[in-house]
Structure 1
Amino acid sequence: MARLHNMKALITGGNGGIGKTTAETFLREGADVALVGTNEETLQQTKDELKELGNVLTISADVSNENNVARYVQKVINSFGRIDIFFNNAGIEGKVAPITEQSVEDFDKVMGVNVRGMFLGLKHIMPHMTNQGGGSIVNMSSSAVMTTASSVSPYISSKYGIVGLTKTAALEGATNNIRVNSIHPSPTNTRMMRSLENGMNPGNAEAVKEGLTEAIPLNCYAETQDVANLVLFLASNESKFITASEYYIDGGMSAT
């Protein structure tokens, strides 16, 4: 039997990169999947690409806006009846610049999506999981909380905040059989990494990629499927006794 047979999953940041690959993985394992994103065109493209695999619902919403979050959660409940899995994945990289060149607006924008958006998702989904008897939540953080990096202070700060949210939510949800874990990928072959590489060394992004690759003991970036495989494990009943944990998927980078 498929590992997610008849389960209902919600993925924010679901219209590309890790979110899209995870959606495909969930569908292949028997889940119905709702995708939340900000770009209606790419959401529709993603749905068109995935719909042959199973039931796909798409919702355009701003995860940093509480009314939007309440709306997308209710739409999933109305369509699927429940939410068994929540991949709290939406995030942005922000501006690449030293702290002294980051504006308050730059900082607030990243924190709004990466931290407030994650908080709001937890706030509005956990009551439904409580009522239905449990669920699994996977929060997207980064290996950068272990290795850190310069010139991306809003991003790094936001990923530290996710660790705190994860552990708090895990403790609060445990008595209701809600498991909450965080994942921490190293550089992964996605649009976000291309943006960061270009921001760190405009005109020579390849040099940044080479340097980061050399810092990874396995000597390569992660692929989106590598990350999706971990999310699948944490979403499934195979991890039913795992909560409040941090999972690094970084090719050994955090050990260096």
Structure 2
Amino acid sequence: MGRLDGKITIVTGATSGIGRRTVELFVQEGARVVATGRREELGRSLEAALGKDKCLFVTADATNEADVKRMFDACLAKWGRVDCLFNNAGGPAPVGGIETVPVDGFDAAMATLVRSVMLGMKHAAPLMMKQGSGSIINNGSVAGRRAGYSTSMIYSAAKAAVNHLTVCVAMQLGEKNVRVNSISPGGIATGIFAKALGLPPDKADSYAEAMKAGMAKAQPIPRAGIVDDIAKAAIFLASDDSTFINGHDLVVDGGMVGGRLWTPHQEGVKAMRQAFGVDEV
């Protein structure tokens, strides 16, 4: 028996990376999924692989309200309800110092990263409040919790907005038994890092595997994060195992934001002892 048996779900940004894997695992756990994204060819391949009785792909831009409304309408037309929304759609933001940030790039990033989340919640809320149940999951980031964890300060600011908006909406919808939580990934090997540096999406996604070795050193757990780590966290928050969790940011980062790494810190202490001529204890 799957943890999501009977659940009707929507996943945005589902054509690659975290979103695509989440759709696959949601279906494995018994959910029916409306998968959305802008890259129709990739979306149709996901739909075909999982079967239209389990996965319906809807081409949609998560920053466009008409598209967002259409994806909810498609879900209701096919399955009659929405039990879970995973606001996963995202993308890179301008890099560089604050003095170099282009206004159009800033606005585009805020639309992709924040407006999309707001629109998803706006259109999920009435349906879930009427049902008296539901789970909304927003994709945040450790970059929204600590400065310096993204190549883009604008990305960090946008994710901080997502994390706080999550809590604000949770306080409202929780009164109707609708839960709103976020997941903050750490270093997850996907194409988003290459996209941030300017590679087109089709090429950026192919670099995910090559990034794992370097990312394995960024946190105490000695491996890179993978998309399954986030997809499985989303399964937990979508399931009935988390019905008393609301307004929470679930950090999935291998301990990255916990503090300074132990071994490099101890090596620094050893170097200072040697410099001061102090014997080790």
TM-score normalised by L of structure 2: 0.83
Query: In 2, are the aligned partners of 1:139 and 1:182 still within 8 Å (CA)?
Result: yes
Shift of 1:246: 0.8
* Match 1:219 to one of 207, 214, 222: 222
1:155 is aligned to 2:158: no
State the alpha-carbon separation in 2 of the partners of residues 242 and 50 from structure 1. Answer: 30
Shift of 1:151: 4.5
State the alpha-carbon separation in 1 of the partners of residues 145 and 65 from structure 2. Answer: 30
State the alpha-carbon separation in 2 of the partners of residues 207 and 74 from structure 1. Answer: 39
State the alpha-carbon separation in 1 of the partners of residues 136 and 230 from structure 2. Answer: 15
TM-score normalised by L of structure 1: 0.91
* Larger Rg computed on CA atoms: 2
Higher RCO (C-alpha 8 Å, min separation 6): 1
Q: 1:126-165 counterparts in 2 under 5 A? A: 126-149=125-148, 151-165=151-165
Match of 1:83 in 2: 82
Change (3 A) 1:99 1:206: farther
Shift of 1:66: 1.3
How many equivalent pairs are there? 250
Greater shift, 185-194 or 240-249, is seen at: 185-194
- 1:217-246 deviations in Å (ceiling 9; x for gaps): 112221111111111001000001000001
1:105 is aligned to 2:104: yes
Query: In 1, are the aligned partners of 2:145 and 2:160 still within 8 Å (CA)?
Result: no
Gaps in structure 2 of 5+ consecutive residues: 200-207, 260-281
State the alpha-carbon separation in 2 of the partners of residues 237 and 166 from structure 1. Answer: 19
Match of 2:236 in 1: 233
- 1:3-62 deviations in Å (ceiling 9; x for gaps): 11111010000111111111111101111000010111111122122228x511111111
State the alpha-carbon separation in 2 of the partners of residues 210 and 198 from structure 1. Answer: 21
Shift of 1:195: 3.0
Query: In 1, are the aligned partners of 2:143 and 2:155 still within 8 Å (CA)?
Result: no
State the alpha-carbon separation in 2 of the partners of residues 122 and 255 from structure 1. Answer: 30
What is the identity, as a one-letter code, of the residue corresponding to 1:81?
G
Shift of 1:90: 0.5
State the alpha-carbon separation in 2 of the partners of residues 34 and 165 from structure 1. Answer: 24
SS of 1:4's partner is coil
State the alpha-carbon separation in 2 of the partners of residues 233 and 243 from structure 1. Answer: 13
RMSD, aligned α-carbons: 2.1
* Match 2:251 to one of 235, 248, 253: 248
SS of 2:250's partner is strand
State the alpha-carbon separation in 2 of the partners of residues 160 and 151 from structure 1. Answer: 15
Query: In 2, are the aligned partners of 1:12 and 1:35 still within 8 Å (CA)?
Result: yes
Change (3 A) 1:207 1:78: closer
SS of 2:170's partner is helix
SS of 2:56's partner is strand
State the alpha-carbon separation in 2 of the partners of residues 28 and 76 from structure 1. Answer: 19
1:21 is aligned to 2:24: no
Identity %: 36
Shift of 1:78: 1.3
Shift of 1:97: 2.3
- 1:190-240 deviations in Å (ceiling 9; x for gaps): 1113334678xxxxx999876654231112221111111111001000001
State the alpha-carbon separation in 2 of the partners of residues 32 and 210 from structure 1. Answer: 35
